[in-house]
Amino acid sequence: MSLPTVSVIITCYNYGKYLKGCLDSVLNQSFSNFEIIIVNDGSIDNTDEIVENFQSLSNIKYIKQPNRGQAIAKNVGIQNSSGDFIAFLDADDAWEKDKLKKQLPLFEKNNIGVVYSRAMYVNDQGQSINNVKTTEKYLIPKSGKVTENLFLDNFVPFSSSIIRKDCFKKCGIFDVSLQMGIDWDLWLRISTVYEFDFVDEPLLIYRVGHAGQMSKNLEIRQQCSDKIMSNFLMTHRNHLSMWTIRRAFSFTYSNRGEYYRRIDKKKSNCFFLKSIFQNPGNINSYKGLLKNLLIY
């Protein structure tokens, strides 16, 4: 029996109500040489019942574990995979039917480590929404050597990604000390060795705004972002120009100034000032300060 070309890793924590749609979107792919590895990270909902309906399929592996967090769950999936490529899909998301077919040919270049795509955003009911910011200049998809661009912001939609398995051997797996931002941390490390490419189509259906979505917790995200940036600077500073580092911190501080405006204006002003110190040309930070002064 030949090894599957792609191992699709689906991690699930109390997302049973979305899991059938997620699995159907993989099983209906026009490219069929894959295995599916479902890692149930301690769910207490109907996840077992949903998976039971699919377990007669020979290309599905089901792994259950106590709740240990998304990084460990994804690492368990990697460790149990057999494919040459790893595709990640969170259980509340789904794929367009030609996703694998359109992305895999880009790996013909041996220096490509990650291939991703754009995303279409839907709400909890699966209805398309258009108010998600995707036009921010740092979020525009990039290809090639992307380390400096990635340090500014994470423009790779996680559930759109396919990774050459050798990337994990050379660059490591997910950092289990991080609660959030584990994908950004991984992309940064991979980008120091491999190039990235993307399909300029929304091949991922990404669900936003529902209960339990981790990306809602902004303060934890900030703490993890600080750790990721600090760790990367300690180990791979030679891959970044000083101007990129200053722009990245200016962008980060400006975003925090916006976040704290409604919570703590003094803290908000401090972040805007820190942003301007890093990059005096960051117009958004001046605008943020002015808004704070006008609100007083």
Owner of token pair 């259906």 = 205
Among the listed residues 111, 97, 108, the one whose alpha carbon sits nearest the alpha carbon of residue 195 = 111
Question: Model-level pTM?
Answer: 0.91
Distances (CA, A) of 113 to 23, 40, 96, 143, 169: 25, 27, 22, 11, 12
Burial of 145 (0-12, 13-18, 19+ CB in 10 A): middle
Q: Going by C-beta distance under 8 Å and a sequence separation of 6 or more, which residues neighbour residue 96?
A: 25, 201, 202, 203, 204, 205
User: Would you state the structure tokens that stand for residue 182, as one six-digit string?
Assistant: 């584990």
Q: Which 3 state secondary structure label does DSSP give 95?
A: strand
Q: pLDDT 10s per residue in the chain (296 long)?
A: 566 799 999 999 999 999 999 999 999 999 999 999 999 999 999 999 999 999 899 999 999 999 999 999 999 999 999 999 999 999 999 999 999 999 999 999 999 999 999 999 988 776 777 655 555 777 899 999 999 999 999 999 999 999 999 999 999 999 999 999 999 999 999 999 999 999 999 999 998 865 555 445 778 889 999 999 999 999 999 999 999 999 999 999 999 999 998 889 999 999 999 999 999 999 999 999 999 988 65
Query: Is there a contact between 100 and 29 (Cβ–Cβ < 8 Å)?
Result: yes
